[in-house]
Structure 1
Amino acid sequence: MEKQMSFKKRESTTDKALSHEEQLAKIYEVRKMMGPIADRLPAICSEDSISRYLRARNWNTKKAGKMLKETIKWRSEFKPEKIQWVSNAPEDIAQEAETGKMYRANYYDKFGRTVLILRPGFQNTNAVNKQIMYLVYCMENAILNMSSDQEQMAWLIDFQQWNTSSISLKATRETAKILQNHYPERLGIGILYNPPKVFESFWTMVKPFLEPKTHKKVKFVYSDNPQSKKVMEDLFNMDKLESAFGGRSSGGFDYEAYGQRMREDDKKMSSFVDSGCSSAYSPSIMSELQRSELSSDQCSEASDEGGCSSCDKTASSNLEVANEKVQGQPHDSKDVANGNTKVAV
């Protein structure tokens, strides 16, 4: 799902070298690459949306255009806007949420960002395709509930009950692929709350294969560390934050109540789609997209900035090696005693 907002110059360190006018020029260049599709899919081809793809590719217009086209193709096939809480169809994902392994909090952080809570130690299913479907549903729902002036979200990752057997390499790969390729620049901050030492080893091995601006958004927070407590106080209203994260709220995940919220949001999503704010990805649009394919944005352009599929394969290979090393490490007795856990995002 994409919302249309008026474009504002982003002030990250990566973007400061470009003036507002230069950023707009690159946005218009990518929009021109889309051809007639840009008018037929106004939300995903909006200035703010294109800006996210450009930032994800370090303002390389060819690679941003390629990335955006691949997302349009993916959305036409995956149809994320069709996934519903309960639909008596393959798109029904209510079962995935029964343990509260991933859900949207009913509060925002102090920057007005939607908050997604992940508890990978509470995994309750084995089918990776349904797990990915639920991930996409949660992402779309978080975006649906963003304020009009916000485009990023905060992730709170709780490691309760997590251990190395919680790592699914296939699910990790698919998760990384979906988030990096189709939801660029959506993560504002990721809090890893009480991760065990074994996960710290995994992170150390994976970190070199992430964009610096991505891993800089991730913070390790520990409940027994005063400095970590300040991090949480700076980000969240402690009266609303769950006690599991050091907050003062005694509330937790209530499956029935959450299901009611999601059914209401499904109605909002349907209305959003029916109103024409989210254009249908029809076969004619796909044909138009194929006709406008770029011939000069191959990943072999090693001198260009930004990522490419060959880079992703290398990172995936190294992720597999890291995973094998972590799986071979014994549990730290202190971590097991404390019930600390991890997440794979």
Structure 2
Amino acid sequence: MGTVMESTGVEGASGVQDNLESNEIELTKIGIMRDFIQTQNPSAKDVDDFMIRRFLRARDLDIEKASSLLLNYLSWRQAFIPNGFISTSEISNELAQKKIFMQGLDKMGRPIVVAFGSQHKPSKGSLEEFKRFVAYTLDKICARMPRGQEKFVCIADLEGWGYSNSDIRGYLAALSILQDCFPERLGKLFIVHSPYMFMTAWKAVYPFIDNKTKKKIIFVENKKLRPTLLCDIDESQLPDTYGGKLPLVPIQDS
């Protein structure tokens, strides 16, 4: 028994050492990346280490690729959100559809977002407004994250979804903004009440989802919906539409 315990202790110490070395490598690369991006874009001085780390992790700690991604994001933000924020008046058609809600935290302290696919009406807005809405939503989510938390959980509810809700261009635009401008923000995506006809749209979008994001997506069977959600979300934090205790709050009111 003594041999087993000694072996376990060595393995544990090795794991701690590996984590320390990994953290040191990240810190070193964060410093190198910061110096580089600041020479390329003066606004990079306002970027904190957490953001640099997220972009590094999104590109497997490759400084060159991560720097390119972050610099592209800064340029996109300066052009797409020149005022620093998107006002509700810029996305009034999207907000009127009442399709994104936010309430509660999962067991890891990640904010919970609920999106209703059947409420998305591409014919009632433009692609540009929808893109602004996606950026507005992600900014809102990030602003609501508890201190020390960097990710959120989303429940994509497709009950009642039909072809009139299908919007491949919109889905791809939203995916691009999430992956390229808000990397390492999505913690988990539950897709629930998915109708068979949705799979046509899913097959069109799936090839554009990066491998890191694919691992975070879970299709939930209807009969396993509540127990699956309760594995990650306490009943006190679960939206009431799924039998929990919290009423849903529109994203603009969260």
Classify the TM-score, shorter chain.
Answer: 0.7 to 0.9
Q: Supply the AA of the counterpart residue of 2:55.
A: Y
Contact 2:94 2:125 in 1 (8 A): no
Contact 1:31 1:38 in 2 (8 A): no
Secondary structure in 1 aligned to 2:222?
A: coil
Aligned-pair identity in percent equals 25
Between the aligned partners of 2:248 and 2:68, the Cα distance in structure 1 is 42
2:15 is matched with none
Between the aligned partners of 1:153 and 1:43, the Cα distance in structure 2 is 23
Contact 2:103 2:247 in 1 (8 A): no
The offset of 1:108, in angstroms, is 1.5
The offset of 1:99, in angstroms, is 2.9
2:142 is matched with 143
1:158 is matched with 157
Between the aligned partners of 1:209 and 1:144, the Cα distance in structure 2 is 27
Secondary structure in 2 aligned to 1:184?
A: coil
2:25 is matched with 22
Between the aligned partners of 1:203 and 1:101, the Cα distance in structure 2 is 19
Q: Supply the AA of the counterpart residue of 1:107.
A: G
Between the aligned partners of 1:161 and 1:19, the Cα distance in structure 2 is 46
Answering whether residue 250 of structure 2 is matched by residue 251 of structure 1, we say: no
1:186 is matched with 185
2:93 is matched with 95
Where does the alignment leave 5 or more consecutive residues of structure 2 unmatched?
1-17
The offset of 1:243, in angstroms, is 3.9
In structure 2, the CA distance between the partners of 1:74 and 1:208, relative to structure 1 (3 Å rule), is closer
Q: Supply the AA of the counterpart residue of 2:183.
A: P
In structure 2, the CA distance between the partners of 1:224 and 1:212, relative to structure 1 (3 Å rule), is same
The offset of 1:106, in angstroms, is 2.6
Show CA shifts across 1:94-136 (max 9, x none). Answer: 3312232123x23122211122211121124231111111111
Secondary structure in 2 aligned to 1:196?
A: coil
Where does the alignment leave 5 or more consecutive residues of structure 1 unmatched?
1-14, 263-345
Aligned residues: 234
Answering whether residue 105 of structure 2 is matched by residue 111 of structure 1, we say: no
The offset of 1:233, in angstroms, is 0.7
In structure 2, the CA distance between the partners of 1:148 and 1:42, relative to structure 1 (3 Å rule), is farther
Of the three residues 74, 77, 83, the one matched with 1:75 is 77
Q: Higher helix proportion, which one?
A: 2
Give TM-score, length-normalised by structure 2: 0.81
1:232 is matched with 229
Between the aligned partners of 2:149 and 2:25, the Cα distance in structure 1 is 22
The offset of 1:19, in angstroms, is 1.5
What is the root-mean-square deviation in Å for CA atoms of aligned residues? Answer: 2.7
In structure 2, the CA distance between the partners of 1:160 and 1:34, relative to structure 1 (3 Å rule), is same
Between the aligned partners of 1:208 and 1:75, the Cα distance in structure 2 is 26
Could you say which structure has the greater relative contact order, defined with CA pairs below 8 angstroms and 6 or more residues apart? 1
1:63 is matched with 65
Contact 2:115 2:154 in 1 (8 A): yes
Between the aligned partners of 1:251 and 1:150, the Cα distance in structure 2 is 23
